[in-house]
């Protein structure tokens, strides 16, 4: 049987990680990526079509004869990429638009959780004419959590102890979006659970923890994620089982009732209080970035087999196996990230090969990288790349990821020095 043709949509560290796994699969004969980055160009044929260009992606999938399309980011899914691929008979890993709305609208996600009886923070929906002061009073005593109901690339949430700041963000959001959510504050530690699901079942991948703030000690502005590690010990077996019983099974059940089953990965953002009873902070309809980079390598089962099965409601036929090592990744961010990253600078010290050190292995995941006209590696985005490693202990993987990043040069760049501090 000829090798399968796979198209990966997106161009970040997550998509480089997906391409690395798919390239390794004995089933995959041809790998394409749109738009990809410098890293994916060594593994796949890159095509200059952005993830937002759904028409372009459909044309490309047809032209290359894709057997499977793997959607990295949420935007094309919210814009009906999976629906339109289904209409032309091409399987897609990633849900149809109606289900992608779990990420597209935070209010919709809250309503679904309410309907499915899934634990999440209490909330008010505020719009023109709402009694904002009464709502603020309702959740007083803790920081206020205000969430815009739009895809805002991580910039739509304000958590503040300052009532004036909360009120003013509520008012401006109502003006621009028509409505806004005010949520009860949940104390605890955050973790990410990636759950692959389809109409036949679901598979929970080992839970990870991301570091969303730009600077050490979880200080500074929110980012897309500055580093992550897996498995995260805060998700004990008991917490994991609670999450399955109270969140994942009810969500899977709820989504089964949809016209088209959820075929893809549901990213469950958890808040774990001291009691160990997890709550949902957010859903995403895609792999996390950088969580993907450190979660996929823990799969012993061929990743193509898993993604393809989930795109065809055959997940329940697979017996998915995991490695028992640990992984960590540290993101190298451009000067000025996240506010205004400087792009176009040369990057030195990045190799293609994986590096072996005792029982540990390290590799670079490219994110915002490309080539200049001379073919030199340059940065093209805020998060340039992430240095990843696996090892027999979390400490070993973290140590090797740092050894790797210390040898990479990008003028003005910064990275966090404390990835995995909560677990170490
Ligand atoms: P979200 O985009 O919904 O994930 O929110 C961004 C970040 O805000 C989360 O990663 C949390 O750190 C924080 N956050 C969101 N909702 C809450 C909440 N109800 N209680 C405490 N922190 C929250
Ligand atoms: N790292 C967080 C996210 O992908 O949403």
pLDDT digits (tens, 9 = 90+) for 314-370: 999 999 999 999 999 999 999 999 999 999 999 999 998 899 999 999 999 999 999
Distances (CA, A) of 424 to 250, 357, 362, 418, 420: 33, 20, 19, 10, 6
Q: What's the CATH code of the domain at 309?
A: 3.30.470.20
Cβ(12) to ligand 2 under 6 A? no
- The model's confidence at residue 258, banded by pLDDT at 50, 70 and 90, is confident
Question: Does one domain contain both 294 and 195?
Answer: yes
Residue 329 lies in a domain: yes
Residue 210 lies in a domain: yes
Nearest alpha carbon, ligand 2 atom 2: 288
pLDDT digits (tens, 9 = 90+) for 110-129: 999 999 999 999 999 999 99
Contact 289, 228 (CB under 8 A): no
Question: Does one domain contain both 197 and 230?
Answer: yes
Cβ(288) to ligand 2 under 6 A? yes
Residue 306 lies in a domain: yes
Q: Residue holding tokens 């893809």?
A: 264
Question: Does one domain contain both 13 and 90?
Answer: yes
Question: Does one domain contain both 211 and 175?
Answer: no
What pLDDT does 154 receive? Answer: 63
Residue 161 lies in a domain: yes
Alpha-helical regions (H) of 190-301: 237-243, 249-256, 291-295
Pairwise CA distance, residues 73 & 6, whole Å: 16
Q: What's the CATH code of the domain at 375?
A: 3.90.600.10
Contact 197, 386 (CB under 8 A): no
Question: Does one domain contain both 208 and 308?
Answer: yes
Buried b (16+ CB within 10 A) or exposed e, 48-67: ebbbebbebbbebbeebebb
What pLDDT does 153 receive? Answer: 65
For the cut 60, the answer to whether the pLDDT of residue 218 exceeds it is yes
Residue 336 lies in a domain: yes
The overall pTM is greater than 0.95: yes
Residue 103 lies in a domain: no
CA of 199 to the centre of ligand 2 (A): 25
Reported in sequence order, the residue ranges of 273-351 that DSSP labels E, i.e. its strands, are 279-284, 326-333, 347-348
Q: What's the CATH code of the domain at 53?
A: 3.40.50.20
Question: Does one domain contain both 85 and 140?
Answer: no
Q: What's the CATH code of the domain at 163?
A: 3.30.1490.20
Pairwise CA distance, residues 237 & 239, whole Å: 6
Nearest ligand 2 atom, CA 228: 1
Cβ(291) to ligand 1 under 6 A? no
What pLDDT does 352 receive? Answer: 87
The residue from 183, 200, 223 where one domain ends is 183
The residue from 294, 324, 354 where one domain ends is 324
Question: Does one domain contain both 90 and 129?
Answer: no
Residue 68 lies in a domain: yes
Nearest alpha carbon, ligand 1 atom 1: 282
For the cut 90, the answer to whether the pLDDT of residue 60 exceeds it is yes
Domain count, the chain: 4
Per the structure, the complete domain to which residue 225 belongs is given by: 187-324
Q: What's the whole-number mean pLDDT along residues 35-49?
A: 98
What pLDDT does 255 receive? Answer: 95
Question: Does one domain contain both 359 and 395?
Answer: yes
pLDDT digits (tens, 9 = 90+) for 368-407: 999 999 999 999 999 999 999 999 999 999 999 999 999 9
Pairwise CA distance, residues 22 & 69, whole Å: 12
pLDDT digits (tens, 9 = 90+) for 152-211: 766 789 999 999 999 999 999 999 999 999 999 999 999 999 999 999 999 999 999 999
Question: Does one domain contain both 319 and 329?
Answer: no
What pLDDT does 269 receive? Answer: 98
pLDDT digits (tens, 9 = 90+) for 267-298: 999 999 999 999 999 999 999 999 999 999 99
| Ligand 2 probe mutation, 284, 295, 333, 416, most atoms within 8 A of CB | 284
Question: Does one domain contain both 300 and 381?
Answer: no
Question: Does one domain contain both 315 and 212?
Answer: yes
| Ligand 1 probe mutation, 143, 148, 157, most atoms within 8 A of CB | 157
Q: What's the whole-number mean pLDDT along residues 233-254?
A: 98
Nearest ligand 1 atom, CA 186: 20
Residue 61 lies in a domain: yes
What pLDDT does 1 receive? Answer: 54
Nearest ligand 1 atom, CA 120: 19
pLDDT digits (tens, 9 = 90+) for 72-114: 999 999 999 999 999 999 999 999 999 999 999 999 999 999 9
The residue from 295, 324, 353 where one domain ends is 324
**Non-local CB neighbours of 99 within 8 Å, separated by 6+ positions:** 255, 258, 260, 262, 285
- The model's confidence at residue 309, banded by pLDDT at 50, 70 and 90, is very high
Provide the percentage of residues in the chain whose pLDDT is more than 90.
Answer: 96
Q: Which H/E stretch holds residue 271?
A: strand 264-272
Question: Does one domain contain both 331 and 236?
Answer: no
């Amino acid at each position: 049987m000829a090798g399968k043709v796979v198209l990966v949509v997106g161009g970040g560290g997550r998509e480089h990680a997906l391409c690395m796994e798919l390239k390794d699969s004995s089933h995959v004969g041809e790998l394409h990526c749109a738009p990809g980055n410098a890293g994916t160009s060594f593994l796949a044929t890159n095509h200059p079509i952005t993830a937002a260009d759904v028409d372009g992606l459909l044309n490309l999938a047809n032209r290359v004869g894709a057997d499977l399309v793997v959607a990295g980011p949420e935007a094309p899914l919210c814009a009906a990429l999976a629906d339109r691929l289904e209409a032309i008979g091409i399987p897609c890993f990633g849900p149809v638009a109606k289900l992608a709305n779990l990420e597209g609208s935070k209010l919709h996600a809250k309503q679904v959780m309410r309907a499915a009886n899934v634990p999440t923070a209490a909330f008010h929906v505020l719009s023109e004419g709402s009694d904002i002061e009464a709502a603020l009073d309702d959740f007083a005593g803790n920081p206020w959590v205000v969430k815009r109901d739009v895809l805002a690339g991580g910039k739509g949430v304000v958590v503040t102890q300052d009532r004036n700041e909360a009120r003013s963000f509520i008012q401006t959001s109502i003006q621009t979006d028509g409505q806004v959510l005010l949520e009860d504050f949940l104390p605890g530690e955050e973790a990410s659970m990636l759950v692959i699901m389809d109409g036949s079942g679901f598979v929970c991948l080992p839970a990870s923890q991301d570091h969303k703030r730009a600077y050490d000690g979880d200080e500074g502005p929110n980012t897309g994620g500055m580093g992550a590690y897996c498995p995260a010990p805060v998700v004990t077996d008991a917490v994991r089982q609670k999450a399955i019983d109270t969140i994942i099974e009810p969500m899977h059940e709820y989504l089964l009732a949809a016209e088209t089953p959820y075929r893809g990965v549901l990213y469950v953002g958890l808040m774990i209080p001291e009691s160990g009873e997890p709550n949902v902070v957010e859903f995403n309809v895609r792999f996390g970035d950088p969580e993907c980079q450190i979660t996929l390598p823990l799969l012993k089962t061929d990743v193509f087999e898993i993604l393809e099965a989930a795109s065809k409601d055959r997940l329940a036929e697979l017996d998915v196996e995991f490695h028992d090592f640990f992984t960590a990744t540290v993101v190298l961010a451009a000067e000025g990230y996240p506010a205004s990253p400087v792009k176009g600078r040369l990057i030195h010290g990045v190799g293609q090969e994986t590096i072996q050190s005792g029982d540990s292995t390290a590799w670079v995941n490219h994110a915002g990288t490309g080539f200049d006209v001379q073919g030199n590696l340059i940065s093209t985005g805020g998060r340039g790349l992430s240095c990843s490693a696996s090892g027999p202990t979390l400490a070993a993987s973290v140590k090797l990821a740092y050894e790797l990043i210390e040898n990479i040069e990008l003028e003005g760049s910064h990275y966090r020095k404390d990835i995995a501090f909560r677990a170490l």
